[in-house]
A = this chain, B = another copy of it.
Amino acid sequence: MANATSMDVFVSLCKRRGFVFQSSEIYGGIGGFWDYGPLGVELKNNIKRDWWRATVQERDDVVGIETAIIMNPRVWQASGHVDTFADPMVDCKSCKRRFRADELVEHKIEAESAHGHVVETAGLRCPECGGELTEPRMFNLMFKTFIGPVADDASVAYLRPETAQGMFVNFDNVLTAMRRKLPFGIAQIGRSFRNEITPGNFIFRDREFEQMEMEFFVMPGTDEEWHDRWIEERFNWWTGLGVRKEKLHIREHAREELSHYSKRTVDIEYDFPFAGFAEVEGIANRTDFDLKKHEEFSGRSLKYFDEESGQHVVPYVIEPAMGIDRCFLTVLIDAYAEEEVRGEKRTLLRLHKRLAPVKAAVLPLSRNERLVPSARRVWDLLRPHFMTQYDDAQSIGRRYRRQDEIGTPLCVTVDFDTLTDEAVTIRERDSMEQVRVPVSGLVAALREKLDGA
């Protein structure tokens, strides 16, 4: 996908085919919030499942967890989010539009430094109307709420801006319950919230989003080596999902853009049609910052007893962290293709079989009264095993195109021969090759082609 026009085509496909809807659309929407439709939720679940399998199930050194979105507010004081998780904001005095000061500055000096966070807005004007801007003021990105009936300082709580703190405050619980030794990791998938000043670019930057984060606890001194290993692991995960290697690259954070807790951070970036290379995953060395802060604020020891050295140490932490929504956007954009087939254009999602929302579609050749019951029996046979669709509307060619457009890897066609030979045709999405298989062996044949997906 090359440019802004195809981005519009793509966003419209996402809505039309049930991948992504604007949240609360009938009420004019709500900025920075999106809903996943019937196909979107399957793709999202497949991404989560694949990450969980690679990060938790198949490894011998990582366990999962799922913590509450609302935590004790002291957590966010300890982590530094109450004091420092803020963006500089300016308003235009004439048109009243609101901007992130650092983005305006970046925009102006992008030739010199694409990622500087210096906020010096003197001389800048509103990019929309040319009006005068206010002085920048810091705006905390955590959504606030109140627990209990009285909305005062004592009852204030926050929607988590990252899932990571759920792992840090449970470090000792997990260590004990799971009888773990270093190095080991705790992984989590869950929603997070950031009150972004300027959400945008479809689901690229949301106010409500879902994260997949893993905190890998290691002995101090082994952190740099583990950081390198995780960068490699995570890069391989992306290419293993079928994302084109030439569209991905790895970028080191400059010292001045590092988060307050980080010793070194590396981003995996994807070349988006609307933004150029932009972060899809960050792999940070968070050092012992978080555990030490929680020791200080909670008064509880979060040290690990190292039998070998006989010492109590606060582990270092390597954190691969990503947003699923952005991953969703990446795999969809990367899979999107338009091609000519026998003089006809087809739109295609070349999604990895493990990610495809629908694994197999059952298509009777026509709505013939003998074919339909036979096709529905085939559908009944497949539903317990795979996510499927049934479609008998319009020509078979048109229905193949519809399945291509949503990335269905396999179509199963029921024709008049089926009525006598009890066999069906399997058609593959990418090659469009067709093979005939007996209905009795269909589940096994599909399973083999899907390679356990």
A residues near B, CB below 8 A? 15-18, 21, 23-38, 40-42, 44-45, 52-53, 57-60, 63-72, 74-75, 89, 98, 139, 143-149, 151, 157, 159, 166, 169-170, 172-174, 177-179, 186, 191, 193, 195, 197, 207-208, 294, 297-298, 300, 302, 379, 383-384, 387, 390, 393
| A21 B66 Cβ-Cβ under 8 A | no
In the complex, residue of chain B having the shortest beta-carbon distance to the beta carbon of A22: B173
| Known A-B contacts A139-B149, A157-B30, A179-B393; A40 and B66 likewise in contact (beta carbons under 8 Å) | yes
In the complex, residue of chain B having the shortest beta-carbon distance to the beta carbon of A402: B179
| A170 B35 Cβ-Cβ under 8 A | yes
| Known A-B contacts A23-B67, A390-B60; A29 and B143 likewise in contact (beta carbons under 8 Å) | no
The answer for the CA separation of A27 and B165 in the assembled complex, in Å, is: 13
| A67 B36 Cβ-Cβ under 8 A | yes
In the complex, residue of chain B having the shortest beta-carbon distance to the beta carbon of A38: B63
| B60 A379 Cβ-Cβ under 8 A | yes
The answer for the CA separation of A57 and B388 in the assembled complex, in Å, is: 8
User: In the complex, how many angstroms separate the beta carbon of A190 from the nearest chain B beta carbon?
Assistant: 8
Chain B residues lying within 8 Å of A53, measured Cβ to Cβ, are 384
| A144 B147 Cβ-Cβ under 8 A | no
| Known A-B contacts A69-B191, A69-B208; A170 and B74 likewise in contact (beta carbons under 8 Å) | no
Listed by A's residue number, 24 A-B pairs whose Cβ atoms lie within 8 Å are: A18-B174, A21-B170, A23-B67, A24-B71, A24-B72, A25-B173, A26-B302, A27-B74, A27-B298, A30-B68, A30-B70, A34-B68, A35-B170, A36-B66, A38-B178, A57-B387, A58-B383, A59-B383, A68-B208, A70-B207, A98-B149, A143-B147, A145-B145, A148-B195
The answer for the CA separation of A69 and B21 in the assembled complex, in Å, is: 14
The answer for the CA separation of A110 and B390 in the assembled complex, in Å, is: 52
| A298 B26 Cβ-Cβ under 8 A | yes
| B16 A177 Cβ-Cβ under 8 A | yes
Chain B residues lying within 8 Å of A383, measured Cβ to Cβ, are 57-60
In the complex, residue of chain B having the shortest beta-carbon distance to the beta carbon of A59: B383
User: In the complex, how many angstroms separate the beta carbon of A191 from the nearest chain B beta carbon?
Assistant: 6
The answer for the CA separation of A53 and B63 in the assembled complex, in Å, is: 25
Chain B residues lying within 8 Å of A63, measured Cβ to Cβ, are 18, 38
The answer for the CA separation of A68 and B18 in the assembled complex, in Å, is: 15
User: In the complex, how many angstroms separate the beta carbon of A121 from the nearest chain B beta carbon?
Assistant: 17
| B33 A70 Cβ-Cβ under 8 A | yes
| A145 B147 Cβ-Cβ under 8 A | no
The answer for the CA separation of A223 and B157 in the assembled complex, in Å, is: 42
The answer for the CA separation of A177 and B38 in the assembled complex, in Å, is: 9
Knowing that A41-B64, A41-B65, A144-B145 are A-B contacts, what are 18 other residue pairs whose CB atoms are under 8 Å apart, sorted by A's residue number?
A: A15-B177, A18-B173, A18-B178, A21-B173, A24-B71, A24-B74, A26-B169, A27-B74, A27-B298, A30-B71, A35-B68, A60-B390, A145-B145, A147-B195, A148-B195, A148-B197, A159-B159, A179-B393
| Known A-B contacts A58-B384, A383-B58; A37 and B174 likewise in contact (beta carbons under 8 Å) | yes
User: In the complex, how many angstroms separate the beta carbon of A81 from the nearest chain B beta carbon?
Assistant: 14
| B33 A71 Cβ-Cβ under 8 A | yes
The answer for the CA separation of A77 and B335 in the assembled complex, in Å, is: 40
| B177 A18 Cβ-Cβ under 8 A | yes
Chain B residues lying within 8 Å of A41, measured Cβ to Cβ, are 64-66
| A26 B172 Cβ-Cβ under 8 A | yes
| B159 A145 Cβ-Cβ under 8 A | yes
| B30 A147 Cβ-Cβ under 8 A | yes
The answer for the CA separation of A193 and B70 in the assembled complex, in Å, is: 10
The answer for the CA separation of A38 and B177 in the assembled complex, in Å, is: 9
Q: Which of A17, A35, A42 has the most CB of B within 10 A?
A: A35
